[in-house]
Copies of this chain bind each other. A is one copy, B any other.
C-alpha cells in the first residue's frame, strides 16, 4: 500500500493522541438510524484499529438526536470495554445515565458565543456555565474525567468572527468548573492556520498550556489539516477527528464535515509522529461504514486507498 515518506520536521511533538469522534459526532447527524449492532461494531473496529480514545455516544434526549436514542443499549453491549470510552452528557440527566452505567469519562458541550449557546443549549452564554457546574462537579466527585467542548471558537454563523479573548474566557470558566481538558472546535470550519496559532498562544498567556487543549477542526473550507499543522507547531498533542470524515455541518454537503481521521493519520505518519493507528484497518472500517450509509466517504485518504485497491 502507498504510504508517505517519513520526513520529520523541527518543533513538532513526538507523539499525538487522536480523539476519535466518528461514533458520536459523526453519526449524530445521520438522518437514517444506524442499527445498534452496526454502531457497536463500528466502535469495536475503531478500537481494534488502534485509536486510543473513541467517544462512543451521547446521552442526549432522543427528541433532539433520535439517532442516539440507543445510547444506553450501546454502552451496555460494549460492557467493560465501554466503561473506558467517553460519552457526551449534555446535562445532569445525561450524567445520571452515565453514572448508572459506571462509566469513567464524560464530556460536556459548551459554546464560545451567545447566539450558539441560545440556539444549541437553550441557555444564555452565562447560563450554560450554571448548567454545567453540577455536571462537572458531580462527575469529578465520582472520579470521572471531564472533557469540555468549546464550540464556535473561530467563527459563528450568526456572529461572524469570534474574538479570541471570548474563547479563552469560555475555556477558563469550564476549566474552573473542574474540566480536565478543553476541545476547541472550529464548528463551521472557517478558521485558518494563523488564527489557530494565535488562539493557542492566547490560552498559554492565560496560563492554560497546550497540554490541556485538544483541537477539533472541520474541513468545510479545506483548512482542517493545515490548522492541525499550526496546532502541532504550537505544542498541541491531542486532535479530534472522525473516521472517514463522518459528520459535520448539517447545512453543508457531506464532503465538508469533520476532519477525517485517515487524513490526519497520513499527515502524522509522514511527519514521523507516533499515533498508534493501523491505517489499513481504519480505512477498511470507514469504507465499511460508508457502504452501510450508502455513500462514499469524503476522506481523501479513504477514497484514494479504496480506489487503488
Contacts and interface: CB of A to CB of B under 8 A. Distances in A.
A146 B229 CA distance: 34
A301 to B, nearest CB: 5
B191 A5 contact: yes
A198 interface: yes
A110 interface: no
What is the copy number of this chain in the assembly?
2
A220 interface: yes
Contacts of A2: 155, 157, 188, 190
Interface string A131-161: 0000000000000000000000011010001
Interface of A: 2-5, 7-10, 12, 154-155, 157, 161-162, 188-195, 197-198, 219-223, 225-226, 228-230, 251-253, 255-256, 260, 263, 266-267, 269-272, 296, 298-301, 303-304, 307-308
Given A223-B266, A253-B307, A255-B255, 19 more contacts: A2-B155, A2-B188, A3-B190, A4-B221, A4-B223, A5-B162, A5-B190, A7-B192, A7-B195, A7-B197, A7-B198, A8-B194, A192-B269, A192-B270, A192-B271, A221-B301, A223-B267, A225-B225, A251-B307
